Amino acid sequence: MIEKQFEIITTTGFARPATLLVSVACMFTSKIVLEYQGKSVDLKNSPKSIMDVMSLEIRPGAEFNIRAEGIDENQALQSVEDHLSKMKLIKE
């Protein structure tokens, strides 16, 4: 299992990022979980995951964790980070 903390910097809505997170997570066999303020969302429970992520109401400046566990956990977490960075959603 690996885990990484991120800081959100986007000031726009979180619908598209939530959809992106779920889409990326579904490409891997590892379990991928987003954790924020004591709540966890299984990112591979699409399409429910999209609404669950949005319901967390992650605000700019907030920190959240993404945890991956499985045979491709390193690639999964790296891919999630790459996509979040590419969309300029997280602090580098």
Is the pLDDT at 7 greater than 80? The verdict is: yes
Is the pLDDT at 92 greater than 80? The verdict is: no
Q: Is 71 in contact with 62 (CB distance < 8 Å)?
A: no
What pLDDT is stored for residue 86 in this prediction? 92
| Backbone φ and ψ of 21, nearest 5° | -55, -45
User: Which residue carries 């891997």 as its tokens?
Assistant: 28
Angle between helices 48-55 and 15-25 (to 10 degrees): 130
- Fold designation for 2-86: Histidine-containing Protein; Chain: A; (3.30.1340)
pLDDT, mean of residues 3-22: 86
Domain ranges of the chain: 2-86
Q: Which residue has the higher pLDDT, 10 or 23?
A: 23
Q: Strand, helix or coil at 70?
A: coil
Beta bridge partners of 4: 66
Tokens standing for residue 12: 């726009």
pLDDT tens track for 20-76: 889 999 999 999 999 999 999 999 987 889 999 999 988 889 999 999 999 999 999
Q: Is 53 in contact with 4 (CB distance < 8 Å)?
A: no
pTM to 2 decimals? 0.91
Name which of 12, 28, 17 is nearest 64 in CA terms: 17
Is the pLDDT at 13 greater than 90? The verdict is: no
